[in-house]
Amino acid sequence: MSHPRESRWGVQVFLSLAALCVSGFVLGHEVEEHVHVRAYVQEEGDQLAFAVRVPLASIRDIQLPITPEGYLVEDAAEMALRQAATLWVMNEVSAAGATGPPRLKSVEISPPSDRSFDDAATAFAGNPLSVDRINWRHLNLDVRFDLPVPGDTGGMYQIESSWWRLGLETEISITFLGADGFVQNIGVHGGKRVLLRPGITAVTGMFIATGILSAIDSWMSLALVISIALGVSALDLRRGWLALMFYGGLAMGLTGVTLLGLQNFPLWFYSASGVFVGILVLWLALENAISQHLLRRPVTAALGGIVLGASLTAVLDATLPLAGGHFTIGGLGYLLGVSLVYGFAGLITLSLTSFVPEKQLRIIIVVTSVVIGHAAWHRVFDEIENLQSYFI
């Protein structure tokens, strides 16, 4: 007498072989351009429960039984779907201090009309619907799994996912549900560390670090600060540096507060701000190289603050949801991190030039300004080309 499990295995093998005769296999395809990942994370004692939905078309390098008409052979796809869920969804998540590997609970295929992931309760419960006669590229992969975590975290968790690999441009929407009813909605573009119910200290440190990294990553912004400092050095106005930093910082902060009311900055905004930063740097470079007279340097510092504030606010706007409700603390921490980098860059420039004789200082300023201006010139035209691509 055969064992029920052996009989079930035999049926699965038979169905898989039958599917081979009537269908093709999706071995791999190009990376999807736009992918949206919807995830719910629920606190359950010493584990985090996940319910994640991803487009099936974003899954690559998995053998899926597909008919010639493009339909998924559901009965023969169970093993492939579990492999896809494990490889591309469950194993792509980690949590700080996790006490064990994630445990897969269920895998389902849902049609585009399914609305179960509009609500956490139905997302975790599942709502299997027929996907008959629907092209496989329009289907969703719903994955539910548990991740063991320490029970003494005070309700704060740090998770990181690599779901950004699913598409060229991946948007991740996460809703965290605490055991006490706390709800946090997070929007993430790309792969980032996410704090669930973060404390004030964690938010402060994270946003100061984010501000520092944002400032360092934008070399044109640093070139702007250095150009202002070179002009101050040429005119021996080092005592006025703090005043210029104040004008620039105030303008940057006011611009940031004004623009934070916007939601979902358009992609062209980054290129547009890059054009304005490049033009301002080019103007300062020419001024430093050609003339030793101060041409409204405080106004230049304020304009620089406005342009930098607009550019950096887009980064802050995308990161602020990670603050878990501590928006003011996050914004101030970010501004502090940016200001530390710009202030340090300016002070280093002033300190180095203070030891150089006047004639040699003039040569250094001219050469440095020419190099910066040349780079800014090319950057402006590169950003203009990028800007045109959004409207053509």
pLDDT per residue as tens digits for the range 289-303: 776 555 456 676 677
The two tokens of residue 215 are 């400032």
**CA 52/CA 71 separation, integer angstroms:** 23
Alpha carbon distance, N-terminus to C-terminus of the chain:
70
Q: For 30-63, write each residue's pLDDT tens digit.
A: 788 889 999 999 998 889 999 999 999 999 888 8
How confident is the model at residue 121, as a pLDDT?
A: 92
Which contacts qualify for 15-18: CB closer than 8 Å, 24 or more apart?
Answer: 15/73, 15/75, 15/76, 16/65, 16/76, 16/79, 18/76
Q: pLDDT grade, residue 191 (50/70/90)?
A: low
User: 64-66 and 24-26: which strand pairing?
Assistant: antiparallel
pLDDT for the residue numbered 5: 43
The whole-number pLDDT of residue 102 equals 93
Dump pLDDT digits (tens) for 212-271. Answer: 888 888 777 788 778 777 776 655 555 555 566 666 666 666 666 666 655 566 767 778
| Percent of the chain clearing pLDDT 90 (strictly above) | 18
**pTM for the structure as a whole:** 0.62
Query: Can you give the pLDDT at residue 27?
Result: 45
The pLDDT assigned to 331 comes to: 81
